[in-house]
């Protein structure tokens, strides 16, 4: 240990060593959309399919859970949302480096922030998935009662009501949860992953 060159030993286990434990490539499935659009539902359905049918090693970074843990120091102002997404991009990068397929389910309302996450991840396997559902439908679903609160003015900076949502211009996938069944949406994601060579179609 007295060797001045001890730092030569760094990074001895890299993506290649971890990859031989896994039947898929690492990737980031970045679900973006309004509150109530179905991001978490779809991300969970896709994760379940990947785990069950493809034995893929996955991890879901869910907005609410991360907000209570890693990003518990952040609020909902646009700068805090930017920092929220920056850290998520960094964590997604770590999980991909560890060889996983990581799924993120965050509103991530701004194009610039999503572009930054893509840049942080910095591979061809950042897959932006627009969970596209009209505001009226999301507001009607209102699974957490947040739209009602926001309309009453009890909730500031709420995306779609008092804070902007910028739909992606070049998403890898767009899913219409107002008119496509969850199973159809899930199938589209899986087929995309097979087409891109991230999964092999060994499950069939």
Provide the annotated active-site residues: 108
Minimum separation from the CB atom of position 195 to a second copy (A) = 23
Contact pattern for a second copy over residues 92 through 111, marking x by CB under 8 A: -xxx-xxxx-----------
11: region left, alpha or beta (phi > 0 left; psi from -120 to 50 alpha): left
Q: Under the criterion CB under 8 A, does residue 25 sit at the interface with a second copy?
A: no
Q: Which is nearer to a second copy, 68 or 156 (CB)?
A: 68
Number of residues that bind a second copy (CB under 8 A): 55
Minimum separation from the CB atom of position 157 to a second copy (A) = 21
Contact pattern for a second copy over residues 174 through 193, marking x by CB under 8 A: ---xx--xx-----------
Distances (CA, A) of 154 to 45, 81, 189: 32, 19, 36
Neighbours of 107 (CB within 10 A): 24
Q: Under the criterion CB under 8 A, does residue 136 sit at the interface with a second copy?
A: no
With beta carbons less than 8 A apart as the criterion, state whether 24 and 198 touch. Answer: yes
- Which part of the chain contacts a second copy (CB under 8 A), choosing from 25-33, 52-60, 109-117, 158-166? 52-60
90 token code pair: 């960094």
Distances (CA, A) of 101 to 29, 80, 145, 195: 7, 26, 31, 16
195 burial level (CB within 10 Å; 0-12, 13-18, 19+): exposed
Q: Under the criterion CB under 8 A, does residue 118 sit at the interface with a second copy?
A: no
Q: Under the criterion CB under 8 A, does residue 120 sit at the interface with a second copy?
A: yes
d(CA 100, CA 109): 25
Contact pattern for a second copy over residues 146 through 175, marking x by CB under 8 A: ------------------------------
Q: Which residues of 25-56 are buried (b: 16+ CB within 10 A; e: fewer)?
A: bbbbbbbbbbbbbbbbbbbbbbbebbeeebeb
Q: Under the criterion CB under 8 A, does residue 129 sit at the interface with a second copy?
A: no
- Give the interface with a second copy as residue ranges (CB under 8 A): 1-2, 4-7, 9-13, 17-18, 21, 38, 40-41, 44-45, 47-48, 51-52, 55, 57-62, 69-70, 73, 83, 87, 90-91, 93-95, 97-100, 120, 133, 137, 140-141, 143-144, 177-178, 181-182
């Amino acid at each position: 240990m007295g060797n001045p060159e001890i730092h030569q030993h760094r990074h001895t286990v890299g993506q290649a060593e971890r990859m031989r434990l896994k039947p898929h490539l690492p990737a980031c499935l970045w679900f973006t959309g309004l509150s109530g659009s179905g991001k978490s539902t779809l991300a969970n359905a896709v994760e379940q399919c990947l785990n069950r049918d493809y034995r893929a090693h996955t991890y879901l970074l869910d907005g609410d859970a991360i907000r209570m843990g890693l990003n518990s120091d952040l609020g909902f102002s646009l700068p805090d949302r930017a920092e929220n997404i920056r850290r998520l991009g960094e964590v997604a990068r770590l999980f991909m480096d560890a060889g996983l397929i990581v799924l993120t389910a965050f509103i991530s309302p701004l194009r610039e922030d999503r572009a930054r996450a893509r840049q942080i991840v910095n591979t061809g396997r950042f897959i932006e998935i627009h969970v596209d559902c009209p505001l009226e439908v999301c507001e009607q679903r209102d699974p957490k009662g947040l739209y009602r609160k926001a309309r009453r003015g009890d909730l500031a900076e709420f995306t779609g009501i008092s804070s902007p949502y910028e739909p992606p211009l070049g998403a890898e996938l767009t899913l219409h949860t107002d008119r496509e069944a969850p199973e159809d949406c899930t199938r589209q994601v899986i087929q995309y992953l097979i087409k891109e060579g991230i999964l092999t179609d060994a499950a069939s």
